[in-house]
Amino acid sequence: MPNAQWRAFLGKRVLALVVLLLVISIGVFSLIHAAPGSAEQMLLSGRRPPSPERVAAIQERYRLNESFLNQYGHWVTRAVRFDFGQSIRTGEDVALALRERAALTVFLGSYAFALIMAFGVPLGVLAAVKRGRGIDRATIALSVVGVSAPAFVTGIFLLYVFAVILGWFPAFGAGEGFFDQLRHLALPAVALALTGLAPIIRYTRTGMLEALDQDYIVFASARGLARRKVLFAYGLRNALIPVVTAGGLILGVMLTGAVLVEVTFSLPGLGALLIESVNFQDVPVVQALAMLTAAMVITVNLLTDILYLFIDPRIRFGKAAS
Amino acid sequence: MRPADHFEQHAYATMQAQGTHLLEVRDLRITSRVGGRHRTIVSGIGLTVSAGETVGIVGESGSGKSMTARALLGLLPAGLMAHGTVTYEGRDLLAMPERALRRIRGSDIALILQDPYTMLSPLRRCGKHLEETLQLRDDGPRLRRRSYRDEAVRRLAEVGITDPGVADVYPFQLSGGMRQRVGIAAAIARDPKILVADEPTTALDMTTQKESLGVLKSLQESRRMGLILITHDLRVAFAMCDRVYVLYAGSVVEVAAAPVVEAEPLHPYTLGLLLSEPPSDRRVSTLEAIAGSVPEPDEVATCCPFAPRCAWVRDDPCRVGKPALAEFAPSRHTACVRIADIRHEMSALRSSAEHPVPSATVAARSRTLVRVEGLDKVFTAGSGRKAGRTVQALVGASLEVGDGESVGLVGESGSGKTTLGRCLVGLETPSAGEITIDGVDGSDYSALDRNARNHLRRTVQMIFQDPYQSLNPARTVDFAITEALRARRERADPQEDLDALTGELLGRVGLPADYRARRPIALSGGERQRVAIARALALEPRLLVCDEPVSALDVSVQAQVLNLLNRLREDLGIAYLFISHDLAVVRQVVDRVYVLYRGQVVESGPVGDVLDSPKHPYTARLVASLPRPDTDWLESSSTAKRPA
C-alpha cells in the first residue's frame, strides 16, 4: 500500500476515533442527569440535609443552572485537556488518580493478554494438529473450565495454593518496578487470563483446521518444506485473521474488565476504583473512567484493523481491485 | 487412421527400450476409516512411469484418481491409509518414515494440484513460494538471498512468465493461468524426476488450458521428467500421454498406449467414456451416455466394477468375481472378461455412434422470441467514494433467439456470457441497450409492472452451472418443484393436481416419481441438475437460459443431461440460450452460435459454419484450443517425441 494511501487510511480512522469518542462523551456526560434523583442531591450524596448555600455552591460549581449543552460544552473542553475535575469522595484530581490506577490495570491486563496469546495460540495449534485425539479434547475441556469458572473463584483458589500453601508468589500487593510487578501480579494475571483463554484456543483451532485443509498446505508439503514451516508459515499465518479479531476483543476485555480479579487480590486498579466510585456516586470519577474505558476499547480496535493490513495483503490491496 | 497394430508395436518397443522404471506402483489400495467403518477408495492399482514418459490416469469423480496422486507422495488426508508398494529407486515409499519421505517430496517426486486459486498461499508472494523451495535444494553451494531471487525469476521465465515483477506480487493479483504457471515453477524448482499433475488444467479456460499443457509438456521433455497426468478428460490424456490408465471406481480397467486406446478401447467403460465425450468436429444424433453413476468401490468389490452400468454385462462371468487386469494383446491390458466376445460389437457401436448428423439446418427463422440490442453492462468495484475501478462486462452485445431455436453463447471466463444471461432473466440490469422478450421490454425488470414482470419470468427461466448450489439443501425436490408450479398458477391448485404435475415433470427429466421426497444431499450432481431443469420447466417457459449447465458434471453424466436437453427441445419446442465455454458441447445442442470476446459479439452464425471455418481470429483460437488426439495439438512442444 503506497504511503499516501496509508496516510489516508490512518487519517480516516483517527478521525472516526475522535468522532466516536465525542458521541460516547455525550452519553457519559448525560449519566449525571440520567441517574435517579436530582443532580444536586447526587453530588451532595446527602447524608445531612444540605444547606441552601451548599446547594447553590454545587450548582455554581457544576453549572447546573445552565443549559445541558453549555454544561456539556464546559465539561468536554476540560476533558480534552484531561481535566475531569476533582473526585467528590477524596477531593483528589481525577486525572491524577486515574493515572496511578491505570498503570496497574494496563500492566495487569497486558500481562494476562500476553499469557493468553502465549498459551492459547500454541494450544489451539496443537489441538488442531492432533484433531480429535486426546490432547485436542483435553485442551477444549480445560478451556471450557477456564471460561466457566468465575475469576474470583479461580483467584481465591490460586491464592490459596500458590501463595498460602506453596508460598511461591506473594499474596498481597502490586509490587514495585517491572520484575517485582511481574512476580506480584502473576497470580491475578493467571486468574484473569483463564477467563479469556478459551476463545483464543477456539479461534486458533478452528482457523488452523480450516487452513490445514487447504490445497496450499498439501502443495507446500509436496515441495518438501519442513513440517514446522508448513504448520506456521502456511497454516498459522493463514489462520491468523480470526485469531487477531478475537485477540483484539479479548485485549479490550482484559483492560476494562478486571474488576473481579482486582477486588479478589485487593489491587488498587481501575476496576476497584470503579466500584468504589459507583458506590459513592462519585460522578466525575465514573465519567472519567467511562471515557477512559471507551478510549481503550476503540484504540485496541484500531490497532487490530491496522494489524489486519499487515497480515493480509488482500485487505491491503483491496481484493475487489485485483 | 493408421492401423492399430502399428501403434502396438511402437508402444511395445518404447516400453522395452526404457528398461527399468522410475516409479512402480503395485497393488495400491487406499482405505479410509470413519467411525470404525472401513471404506475402500482405491482397490488395487498398478502403474509404472519411466524417465521422459507421460502416463495418464483417466477417471471420473469417485474413481480415486486424486487420492492415488496424493498417496504417491505420502500426502493422504488424515484418516486415509495406503497399502501395497510404491517403489522408487528401490525403496518402498509407503513404508518410509515421514522424515525420509520429506526428502523425496519436491526433490524427486513433485505434485501440482487442480485448483490454481487455492494452491498458493494467498499471503505469500509468488517469488517467495519459489525461493523457499529453491533453498531446499541440497546440491551445490547455498546461494545468497539475492541469488535465490534471481533464480526464482529465471524459473518463472522457464514457465513462460517473462515479467520479473511477478515474483513480487501476491497470487490473488494474477489470473488463473498465471497462478498455475507459478505453481508449476514452484513444484519443479528442485528439479524432480517425476511430476504428478492432478487435473492441472481443469479449472482453466480452454485457451489457457492448452498453454498450460504446452508448458508442462515442454518442461517434461526438456528435463526428461516422468509425468503422471491425472485427468477426467480423455481428449487431454490422448493429446498428452504415452500410456493411459483408465480408472473406474478405484480399479484400473484398461491400460494401453494412448493412440491404441484412442483407436480401439478394449473396455466398455473406456468406450462409454469416449462416446460420452461430445465430439468437437461433428454433431451426433445422440451421445452414447453411460446410464447411472459411478458406484462406491465397496459396492462392486466382488464383481466387475462396471457391471451395473455395462450394456454387455452377463451374470457369468461378469458377476462371479472381480476380474483382474489381463493382457489381451501385447501391451494392451483390459479388465473386461468378455472382451473377446464383444470386441466387434463395441467397434460397431462406436462407428455408428460417431456417425455425424448434419448440424441442424437453420430453417426459415421462426418468430423472434428474444432480441437483445447493443447491450452494455458496467460493473463498478467498491461502492460510494471508493468506487473507481469499473469493469465493462458487455460492450454493445446483440443477439436474437427465435421461438423454439437453440442458440449458443460461447466465450471464456470474463467474456460477459453469464452477465448477458443474467440480464435476460432480470438478475442484472443492463447499463444500456435493449432487451425485448416476447414483445415486452425486458431491459429493466424493476421498471415493469407486476403483470409484465410475471409474464417475463414465466417466459424465460434459467438453469445455473452448479447444481450443488442452485437447490436449497433444506428442502425436498417436491417442495422446489411445487413452489415453481404454484408461481405459475398463482392460485391454490388442489394438492392432487400439483402432485400429478410434479410426477410428470420428474418423468420428463428422467427421474422416478419417488425422488420427490428426497433432499438435494441424496442426489448425485446429474440428478440435481435434472431437478433444476424440472423446476425451470414447471413454469412452462419458452426460453431456457442454460448457464454452463453441464460443466460441473462428469463426462458420462454430462452426456445424459445433453441428451435430455435435446429431447426436451424436440418434445416441448422450447428455445435455449445455451451458455458454455465448451465448443464441443455447444455443437451438440445449438443451431446458431454467438462468440463473445471481452463483452463483444465477434462472430455469429450456424454452429457448423462458425466452428468449421471461423472468421474471427479469436474464434479460430478457441477452436484450436480444443484438445485433439491425432495431430500435434500442442504444436511447439510436441515436436520432439521420445526416441523409441
Chain B residues with CB under 8 Å of A319 CB are 172
DSSP string, B439-458: TEE-S-GGGS-HHHHHHHHH
Radius of gyration from C-alpha coordinates of chain B: 26
In total, chain B counts a number of residues equal to: 644
Tally of CB atoms within 10 A around B567: 14
Nearest to B273 by CA among B250, B246, B240, B305: B246
| Binary contact (A312, B123; C-beta < 8 A) | yes
The confidence score (pLDDT) of residue B492 equals: 61
DSSP state of A36: S
Judge whether A243 is closer than 8 Å to chain B, CB to CB: no
Q: Using the beta-carbon criterion (under 8 Å), do A222 and B187 form an inter-chain contact?
A: yes
Closest CA to B71 of B37, B47, B35: B47
Whether B99 and chain A come into contact, CB under 8 Å, resolves to no
Q: Do residues B338 and B312 lie in contact, with contact meaning Cβ atoms separated by under 8 Å?
A: yes
* 3-state SS record for B540-608: CCCEEEEECCCCCCCHHHHHHHHHHHHHHHHHHCCEEEEEECCHHHHHHHCCEEEEEECCEEEEEEEHH
Q: Is the pLDDT of residue A1 over 80?
A: no
The whole-angstrom separation of Cα B76 and Cα B81 is 7
Residues of A with Cβ-Cβ distance to B103 under 8 angstroms: 224
Enumerate the residues of chain B whose CB falls inside 8 A of the CB of residue A223. 105-106, 110, 133, 136, 186-187, 189-190
CA gap B30, B64 in Å, rounded: 9
User: Taking a C-beta distance cutoff of 8 angstroms, is the pair B604, B399 a contact?
Assistant: yes
Q: Cβ–Cβ of B120/A131 closer than 8 Å?
A: no
Residue B360 exposed, middle or buried by CB count within 10 Å (0-12, 13-18, 19+): middle
The order of strands in the sheet holding B406-410 is B460-463, B543-547, B575-580, B406-410, B592-597, B600-606
Q: Which residues of A touch B173 (CB under 8 A)?
A: 317, 322
CA-CA-CA-CA torsion sign (A270, A276, A280, A281): positive
With an 8 Å Cβ cutoff, are B123 and A238 in contact? yes
Interchain CB contact of A319 with B (< 8 Å): yes
- Nearest CA to A225 out of B240, B75, B508, B163 is that of B75
Å between B153 CA and nearest CA of chain A: 18
What pLDDT is stored for residue B108 in this prediction?
92
* Cβ–Cβ < 8 Å for B18, B54: no
Closest CB from A225, A311, A318 relative to B132: A225
Rg (CA), chain A: 24
Task: Indicate yes or no: CB of B136 within 8 angstroms of CB of A225.
Answer: yes
Helix A151-158 to helix A186-212 angle (10° resolution) is: 120
The residue with greater pLDDT, B106 or A31, is B106
The pair phi, psi for residue B148, each rounded to 5°, is -60, -40
Residues of B in contact with A234 (CB under 8 A): 121, 124
Tell me, what amino acid is at B279? P
Q: Residue type for A258, please?
A: A
**Do the chains contact at B172 and A319, CB–CB below 8 Å?**
yes
The DSSP 8-state label assigned to residue B476 in this structure reads: -
CA-nearest of B291, B204, B221 to B627 is: B204
* Joined grid coordinates for residue B438: 416476447
Do residue B119 and residue A219 have CB atoms under 8 angstroms apart?
Answer: yes
Q: What does the pLDDT read at residue A321?
A: 36
Per the listing, cell 497394430 goes with B5
- A313·B122 Cβ contact <8 A: yes
Is the pLDDT at A197 greater than 60? The verdict is yes
Return left, alpha or beta for B13; rule: phi > 0 is left, psi -120 to 50 is alpha, else beta: alpha
Report which of residues B86 and A283 the model is more confident about. B86
Across the interface, of B70, B115, B123, the residue whose CB is closest to A313 is B123
Q: Does A310 touch chain B (CB under 8 A)?
A: no
pTM: 0.81
User: Along chain B (644 residues), what's the average pLDDT of each consecutive run of 10 residues?
Assistant: 44 48 92 83 90 92 87 89 91 90 91 87 90 77 74 89 88 87 91 91 81 89 92 88 92 93 92 87 83 84 90 88 88 90 90 75 71 88 55 89 92 87 90 89 86 88 87 89 79 74 88 87 86 90 91 84 91 92 90 92 91 91 80 51 33
**Residue of B32, B34, B93, B123 for testing the chain A interface, max A β-carbons within 10 Å:** B123
pLDDT value of position A31: 72
Beta strands in B23-72 (DSSP E): 23-34, 37-49, 54-58
User: Given CB atoms, is A6 within the 8 Å cutoff of chain B?
Assistant: no
Q: Of how many residues is chain A composed?
A: 322
* A218 chain-B contacts, CB cut-off 8 A: 70, 75, 111, 113
Domain regions of chain A by residue span: 3-80, 101-320
Q: What is the count of residue pairs from A and B with beta carbons less than 8 Å apart?
A: 97
3-state SS assignment for residue B263: helix
Residue keyed to cell 476533582: A86
Residue A41 is predicted with a pLDDT of 65
Hey, are the CB atoms on A224 and B124 less than 8 Å from each other? no
Residues of A in contact with B36 (CB under 8 A): none
B240 touching chain A per CB within 8 A: no
Instruction: Determine the 3-state secondary structure of B311 from DSSP.
Output: coil
Strand pairing category for B368-380 and B390-402: antiparallel
B326-329 and B283-284 strand pairing: unpaired
pLDDT of residue A260: 83
Q: How far apart are CA B388 and CA B390, in angstroms?
A: 6
Which CATH architecture best describes the domain A101-320? Orthogonal Bundle (1.10)
Residue B189 sits at the chain A interface (C-beta within 8 Å): yes
Return the residue of A nearest to B174 by Cα: A322
Q: Which amino acid is at B233?
A: D
Residues of A in contact with B183 (CB under 8 A): 219
Averaged over A219-239, what is the pLDDT?
Answer: 91
From A317, which residue of chain B is nearest by alpha-carbon distance? B173
Residue with cell 470474463: B414
- Contact of B381 with chain A, judged by CB distance below 8 Å, is answered with yes
pLDDT of residue B372: 92
pLDDT tens track for A123-169: 999 999 888 788 888 888 888 888 788 888 888 888 888 887 887 87
Other CB atoms within 10 Å distance of the CB of residue B255: 24
Phi, psi torsion values for B143, nearest 5 degrees:
-90, 165
Whether the Cβ atoms of residue B28 and residue B84 lie closer than 8 Å to each other: yes
- Extract the C-alpha cell encoding B578: 445455451
